[in-house]
Structure 1
Amino acid sequence: MFDGFRLDHIDLGDVSLRVRHGGSGTPVVLLHGHPRTHTTWYAVAPRLAARHTVVAPDLRGYGRSTLPPERSGQPEGSGHPDAPDAPGHPGRPDHAQSSKRAMAGDVVRLMNRLGHDRFAVVGHDRGALVAFRTAMDHPEAVTHLVVMDSLPVIEHLERTDEVFARVWWHWWFLGQTDKPAERVITADPDAWYTTPGPEVIGAENHADLWAALRDPAVVHGMCEDYRAGLGVDREHDAADRAAGRRVECPAMLLEAVRDDLDIHGDPAKIWAPWLRRPLRHRLIDSGHHQAEEAPEQVSAELIDFLRDEAP
Structure 2
Amino acid sequence: MHWDRVHTLELDDVDIAYRTFGTGSELVVLVHGWPQTGRCWRRIAGPLAERRTVLVPDLRGYGDSGLARSGAYTKRDAAGDVAALIERLGHDSAIVVGHDRGARVSHRLALDHPDRVSALALLDIVPTRTVMNTFDRSSAAAMWHWFFHLQPDLPELLLAGNAEPYLRHFMRGVLATGAVDEETFGHYVRAFSEPGHLAAGLADYRAGFTTDLELDELDHAGGKRITSPLLVLWGAEGGLGGTDVVDTWRRHHADSDAVVGHAVPGGHYVPEEAPEAVLTALRGFLP
Q: Which residue of the partner structure matches residue 73 of structure 1?
A: none
Please tell me whether residue 166 in structure 1 is matched to residue 141 in structure 2: yes
Q: Which residue of the partner structure matches residue 286 of structure 1?
A: 266
User: Following TM superposition, by how much is the alpha carbon of 1:202 offset from its aligned partner in structure 2, in angstroms?
Assistant: 4.4
Q: Which residue of the partner structure matches residue 201 of structure 1?
A: 180
Q: Which residue of the partner structure matches residue 37 of structure 2?
A: 37
Q: Which residue of the partner structure matches residue 98 of structure 2?
A: 123
1:204 & 1:27 partners in 2: Cα distance?
A: 29
CA deviation string 1:199-222 (max 9, x = no partner)? 642465334212113222211110
Once the two structures are superposed, the pairs formed by residues 2-81 of structure 1 within 5 Å of their partners are 2=2, 6-25=5-24, 26-68=26-68
2:33 & 2:197 partners in 1: Cα distance?
A: 13
Which sits farther off after the overlay, 295-304 or 49-58?
Answer: 295-304
Q: Which residue of the partner structure matches residue 253 of structure 1?
A: 232
Secondary structure of the 2:226 match is coil
1:141 & 1:125 partners in 2: Cα distance?
A: 20
User: Following TM superposition, by how much is the alpha carbon of 1:292 offset from its aligned partner in structure 2, in angstroms?
Assistant: 1.2
Contact 1:99 1:225 (8 Å CA) reproduced? yes
Structure 1 stretches lacking a partner, 5+ long: 69-88, 92-96
2:254 to 266, 273, 276: 276
Letter paired with 2:15: S
Q: 1:139 to 1:214 in 2, by over 3 A?
A: same
Contact 2:6 2:19 (8 Å CA) reproduced? yes
2:84 to 95, 109, 112: 109
Letter paired with 2:166: W
* Higher normalized helix content (fraction of residues): 2
1:45 & 1:139 partners in 2: Cα distance?
A: 23
Contact 1:256 1:287 (8 Å CA) reproduced? yes
Secondary structure of the 1:254 match is strand
Secondary structure of the 2:251 match is helix
Q: Which residue of the partner structure matches residue 136 of structure 1?
A: 111
User: Following TM superposition, by how much is the alpha carbon of 1:90 offset from its aligned partner in structure 2, in angstroms?
Assistant: 2.6
Give the TM-score of the pair, scaled to structure 1.
0.85
Contact 1:2 1:46 (8 Å CA) reproduced? no
Which sits farther off after the overlay, 280-289 or 47-56?
Answer: 280-289
Contact 2:29 2:56 (8 Å CA) reproduced? yes
1:294 & 1:273 partners in 2: Cα distance?
A: 26
1:241 & 1:203 partners in 2: Cα distance?
A: 41
User: Following TM superposition, by how much is the alpha carbon of 1:2 offset from its aligned partner in structure 2, in angstroms?
Assistant: 3.9
Contact 2:124 2:233 (8 Å CA) reproduced? yes
Q: 1:14 to 1:128 in 2, by over 3 A?
A: same
1:267 & 1:200 partners in 2: Cα distance?
A: 24
2:134 & 2:177 partners in 1: Cα distance?
A: 37
Q: Which residue of the partner structure matches residue 186 of structure 1?
A: 160
State the superposition RMSD in angstroms. Answer: 1.9
Runs of 4+ in 1 over 4 A off after TM superposition: 197-200
Q: Which residue of the partner structure matches residue 123 of structure 2?
A: 148
Count of matched residue positions in the alignment of Structure 1 and Structure 2: 279
User: Following TM superposition, by how much is the alpha carbon of 1:190 offset from its aligned partner in structure 2, in angstroms?
Assistant: 2.1
Letter paired with 2:271: A
Give the TM-score of the pair, scaled to structure 2.
0.92
CA deviation string 1:172-205 (max 9, x = no partner)? 110111x431111124222211132796424653
